[in-house]
Amino acid sequence: MYSDRNILFTLQHCDSIGWKSINLLMKNTSSPQEIPHLTPAELRNMLPIPSDKCHAFYHQFHSFNHSDKIRQYEEDKIGFITVLDEGYPHILKNIYDPPWVLFYAGRKELLESNRKIAIVGSRKADEYTETALRLILPGLIDEGFVTVSGLAAGADGLAHRMTIAMHGDTIGVIGGGLKNIYPASNRKLAEYMMSKHLIVSEYVPDAKPQRWHFPMRNRIISGLTQAVLVTEASRKSGSLITAETSMNEGRDVFALPGRLDSPLSEGSNHLIQQGAKLVASPKDIISEFQYNFCPQR
């Protein structure tokens, strides 16, 4: 017997289909309860995928034991929340393509914070990012902000580590499964965050990170937060994708001003030219929240 959330859970484990196919299934049925009863022929008419993939999906769906898998995840201290659940973050549900399922390890309640800010930047971030975060983070943490980043090398890892060192709360959004942390250099940090903070992913826990996962991950980073702060970024940085996604979703975008002769400042300076708010102190961020959100501490 499938509940609606277990149907989404099962769909997420069928690697023969992706977000768009699940979207079509949800749109073309009056209830998720219809999905288990669709025949291969009906699936072929509904999904824009080859016949062999339709058959593969049909067999994957009907051979998958969701009860055993959920029990296994519970033993591994991994939970999941679907877009149909009451506790799914409202702010994330309103983006163009919200993840159908979020797998998580750690303190799920951090998703409920109404003061979440993404902090992103270059994987080659230098001492300027660390110096700036040392000046900005204490004020944000004192005001109850939860930092969100991608657990990548460079600025992401710095944001997580420095938040933890300053006794703040942090959320990591990763581009692979919870059992396949990338990069390996951040594995110990991830394990600590799974215990004391929170890590989330839309990919099943055993999924290995793929190159195309990371732009998809960026939409979740921006989608979970009310604002994004870009520290250092080149003009082709993935951080700019996160910032542009935030702008498109109507979120606030902040950027650190950078040196004119530094390639790592080209992206952040460009964002400021495009309308991002220049950040010189935590007050520049806090002032944007004071009328819309109440302090949590």
What is the DSSP track for 175-202? SS-TTS-SSGGGHHHHHHHHHHSEEEES
**H/E element holding 45?**
helix 40-46
Please indicate, yes or no, whether residues 272 and 136 belong to a single structural domain of this protein.
yes
Express each pLDDT in 34-63 by its tens digit: 999 999 999 999 998 899 999 999 999 999
Dist CA 193 CA 197 (whole Å): 4
Question: Cα separation of 99 and 208, whole Å?
Answer: 17
Nearest-angstrom CA–CA distance, 214 and 82 = 20
Phi, psi of 144 (to 5 degrees): 85, 15
Phi, psi of 191 (to 5 degrees): -60, -40
Choosing from 19, 41, 69, the residue where a domain stops is 69
For residue 10, what are its two tokens? Answer: 């099962």
Alpha helices in 99-253 (DSSP H): 127-142, 155-165, 187-196, 213-224, 238-248
Co-location of 41 and 150 in the same domain: no
DSSP conformational letter for 86? T
State whether 157 and 20 are in the same domain: no
Q: Is residue 76 part of a domain?
A: no
Count how many domains the chain has: 2
CATH number at residue 270: 3.40.50.450
Task: Please report where in the chains the tokens 């975060």 appear, as a residue.
Answer: 133
Cβ atoms of 70 and 9 closer than 8 Å? yes
Domain boundary among 69, 98, 128: 69
Instruction: Please check whether residue 117 lies inside any domain of the structure.
Output: yes
pLDDT, residue 291, reads: 55
Global pTM value = 0.93
Dihedral sign, Cα of residue 90, residue 197, residue 239, residue 18: negative
Give the per-residue pLDDT at 1.
Answer: 65
- Domain assignment of residue 5, yes or no: yes
Tell me the C-alpha distance between 37 and 57, whole Å.
Answer: 13
What contacts 101, CB < 8 A, 6 or more positions away?
8, 9, 12, 80, 81, 82, 83, 202
- How far apart are alpha carbons 219 and 243 in whole angstroms? 9
Q: Is 203 exposed, middle or buried (0-12, 13-18, 19+ CB in 10 A)?
A: buried
Do 48 and 143 have their domain in common? no
Domain enclosing residue 119, as ranges: 106-289
The verdict on 42 and 187 lying in the same domain is: no
Q: Are residues 59 and 1 part of one domain?
A: yes
Q: Report residues of the chain scoring pLDDT below 70.
A: 1, 291-297
